[in-house]
Amino acid sequence: MDRVSDQDEFERLRRRAIDCFHHNAFAEGEAAAAAARALRPDDVFAQLYHAMHLLDLNRRAEGIPALRQIAKLAAPDVVPMTSAVYLSRRRRTRQGFSFEDGWITMLEVVLAAGLAPIFSFDDLEARAQAGPSSAVNSSIPLSIVQFWDAVQPPEEVCELARRTQAANPDCSHQMFNAESARAFLHATLGARAAELFDACPHAAAKSDFFRVAYLFDQGGIYLDADEAAVRPLSRYIQRNAFDLVLRYTQAEVSCVDNCFIAVRPRMLLLQRVLDHILGNLESMVRHGMPTNVWVLTGPGVWTFSLVDLCLDPLASYRGNTLARTCLLEGADYQRLFDSPVMDYKLTPEGNWRMLKT
């Protein structure tokens, strides 16, 4: 095949891959993208569409590594392409946001492209050991906030809270309950927010909602009741000038977790998370949206919101809005926190994952 016909064939296959993708003909599109990649092995477009077709065919073992590798090698090219695909397919429906699998997948692009910076525990420890001369005060208040729906938490929860306070004597500590959290929401967001709080299908959803509203308004550090901070958090937060510290889980389906959040007040990402939670709860109340807590108020909302912000074309004009963010993967996170097995999570009342939705 000569140069001209080779290029013509590549363009034909490229167009075919696009058409198949938008018409959900993923098997045919994967074949076209694979053929285009064979003609142009270094072409980012062909590699990207091949990976995305694999993912839509649920061939994750092939698609996820390919997507991560492409994003690492060609982030300036991949991010605009994935943004266009992502935004064109993402819709809010009465059942929540569509293309859920897609926006979870796009987290791989965000992480591999460095749009949300990843730090190891050793990175943080090295900076902390550098001493006061390198310290830059963070804008994150040294105030630890937790939630338990009842006024008196179980002793196992109280013990973890005591461990957290002992390891963090320079931080204030507050334990909100359902009544005090509802009062806070009513005072800061209004009567409708308090009604939506009451409508949450589980105590975990109430906790999800409250923590975002509180941290957006006040800033500070949120920690789940089944976690204990075993090191002084100020050592790793204050000396790094972070605006936001979160945990993320890298797995077959990666996600941003919300068990621990350290953030400055009024951060744009939290505004988006809060807006999406309010929208999801309204949809649940009005239209019977499924009450899966992970998608309704939990890590699914955080994952969606972070991807939405990073791949938002308008956000790019304002610069990297997550430049002062620290994401900690699970193994690094566990060097700062203890997450023991808790008795209260052995029942549906204490563990939303056991709910039938």
Give start-end residues of each CATH 3.90.550 domain in the chain.
121-354
- The tens place of each residue's pLDDT in the chain, 357 residues long, gives 455 578 899 999 989 998 998 788 999 999 999 999 999 998 988 898 898 888 888 888 898 888 888 888 888 888 888 877 776 666 655 555 555 666 777 888 888 888 889 999 999 999 888 765 444 567 899 999 999 999 999 999 999 999 999 999 999 999 999 999 999 999 999 999 999 999 999 999 999 999 999 999 999 999 999 999 999 999 998 777 899 999 999 877 789 999 999 999 999 999 999 999 999 999 899 887 667 899 899 999 999 899 888 887 776 555 557 888 999 999 999 999 999 998 887 787 777 666 665
User: Which residue ranges does the chain devote to CATH 1.25.40.10?
Assistant: 3-98
312-321 — which CB contacts under 8 Å span 24+ positions?
A: 312/83, 312/87, 313/80, 313/83, 313/87, 320/115, 321/268, 321/269
How many C-beta neighbours within 10 Å does residue 351 have? 16
Burial category of 154 from C-beta neighbours within 10 Å (exposed 0-12, middle 13-18, buried 19 and up)? middle
- CATH hierarchy code of domain 3-98: 1.25.40.10
pLDDT at residue 86, rounded to an integer: 73
CATH topology of domain 121-354: Spore Coat Polysaccharide Biosynthesis Protein SpsA; Chain A (3.90.550)
Tokens of 169: 């004597």
pTM: 0.86
